[in-house]
Amino acid sequence: MSDVNDHLALALVPGLGPKLTAALLERFGTAAAALRATAADLVQIPHIGEKLATALAAALRAVNIDSELALLERHGVRPVALGSSEYPAPLAAVPAPPPLLYVRGAWVAADVNAIGIVGARSCTAYGKRLAEQISRDLVRAGFTVVSGLARGIDGAAHRAALAAGGRTIAVLAGGLSSIYPPEHADLAAEVAGNGCLVTETPMAVAPQPGMFPARNRIISGLSRGIVVIEANAKSGALITATHAAEQGRETFAVPGNVDSAASAGCLELLRKGARLVRGADDIIEDLKGIATADYPAGSMDRGLAPAGTQYKGAQGHPSQEDAVTGRAVREDVPRPPAPILDVTQQRVFDALADKRHADELARELGVAVGELSRILMQLELKKVLRRLPGNFYERR
């Protein structure tokens, strides 16, 4: 059995989710070794008792991948294991990435410049128009659009990206042998031809409600930032925004009428410090001053300049225009006055003398994680610090 088939076998073991799979791989080193584990081996892993170890050992021995391989071939899907050169680099860098992805189509190096667009399934004409406009303008600027293939905002974003001749990635909650929602089967085929379909779910597994929040972490993990367009107070799109914050991704929100229930979630995100978006230009402008992960050479072959570019803009941080045009930059341009910080903001800023992880800051300052996230967003908006991949922060 090949290495990827070993990973495929682990994915098919009943009750073996991403966290437990990661624990097995950490303990045994390879998927093949994990499949050979005995109950005595498994009980040594934290949180696995004797009863679970016995059941899991039996399931590992009994797994059969023949029917899964047949479905993969029939639907043109390939399994991609974490650690493979085909595995998306941005997703591999987040905490607890999926051990195995099912991919139909192609993820390419240029897709590191991706923006997620999520929002309401029952969207208004305003929301649909903004999703189409932002998606179209982003792909024309060289970005890839990531969304969830759902009805409403997701579908509008995918279709607009395709119509503009751009790339788009759809992340599904269920298996790829049966597209959900079924009316998006033709759209899924178009996406696979101009990007890819991605899921962590075995081929024949139908989507269940609990799978969608897990799906959302992949959307944010593949993206540099998430744009929320029309989300009510209980929208699943807000879960994607939460994952984005945990993964060190930017959160953008499109405002709506203050009395519109359809935009209540977006307005709450803006109150908490999300970046306000009127169009794609706002997103592109905000991303210019935010550090990009240092992925392998060639992974940033379009769109924004890669991390490490030495050109400097007027504020002293890398500028896309300077990198693209190569124009000379004056080093004597005066900086604007430093923004005024309140006592709490100043305390957080002072603690960032060196690059720090958000969790470390929360522990040191004795601040709740949610409150710290709000303060950090405020400091980002004041442009005195920048968020780095992995939920690290540093001063500008």
**Summary mean pLDDT of the chain:** 84
Residue 14 has pLDDT above 80, yes or no: yes
Average pLDDT estimate for 208-235: 91
Q: Spell out the residues 6+ positions from residue 341 whose beta carbon is closer than 8 angstroms to its own.
A: 349, 379, 382, 384
Between CA 314 and CA 149 the distance in angstroms is 40
Average pLDDT estimate for 224-246: 89
Residue 100 has pLDDT above 70, yes or no: yes
46-55, 341-350, 376-385 — which is least confidently predicted? Answer: 376-385
Q: In this predicted model, what pLDDT tens digit does every residue of 291-313 receive, in sequence order? A: 555 554 333 332 332 233 222 22
CATH, domain range 3-64: 1.10.150.20
19-28, 233-242, 261-270, 299-308 — which is least confidently predicted? Answer: 299-308
Q: Are 102 and 175 in contact (CB under 8 A)?
A: yes
Between CA 68 and CA 78 the distance in angstroms is 11
Average pLDDT estimate for 41-48: 89
For domain 336-395, give the fold: Arc Repressor Mutant, subunit A (1.10.10)
Higher pLDDT, 232 or 339: 232
Residue 370 has pLDDT above 50, yes or no: yes
Residue 213 has pLDDT above 80, yes or no: yes
Q: What is the CA radius of gyration of the chain?
A: 22
117-121, 167-171, 172-176, 341-345 — which is least confidently predicted? Answer: 341-345
39-43, 190-194, 246-250 — which is least confidently predicted? Answer: 246-250
170 closest CA partner among 144, 207, 141, 205 = 144
Q: Does domain 90-288 have CATH number 3.30.70.20?
A: no
**What are the residue boundaries of the structural domains of the chain, listed by start?**
3-64, 90-288, 336-395
Average pLDDT estimate for 221-241: 90
Q: In this predicted model, what pLDDT tens digit does every residue of 146-155 receive, in sequence order? A: 999 999 999 9
Average pLDDT estimate for 348-371: 88
Report residue 331's pLDDT band, with 50, 70 and 90 as the boundaries. Answer: very low
Average pLDDT estimate for 114-118: 97
Half-sphere exposure of residue 282, counting CA atoms within 13 Å on the CB side? 18
Q: Measuring CA to CA, how many Å separate 117 from each of 92, 191, 243, 372?
A: 20, 15, 14, 25
Report residue 110's pLDDT band, with 50, 70 and 90 as the boundaries. Answer: very high
- Omega into 95 within 30° of 0, i.e. cis? no
- The pLDDT assigned to 312 comes to 27
DSSP string, 300-350: --SSSPPTT-----TTSS--HHHHHH-----TTPPPPPPPP--HHHHHHHH
67-76, 144-153, 221-230, 317-326 — which is least confidently predicted? Answer: 317-326
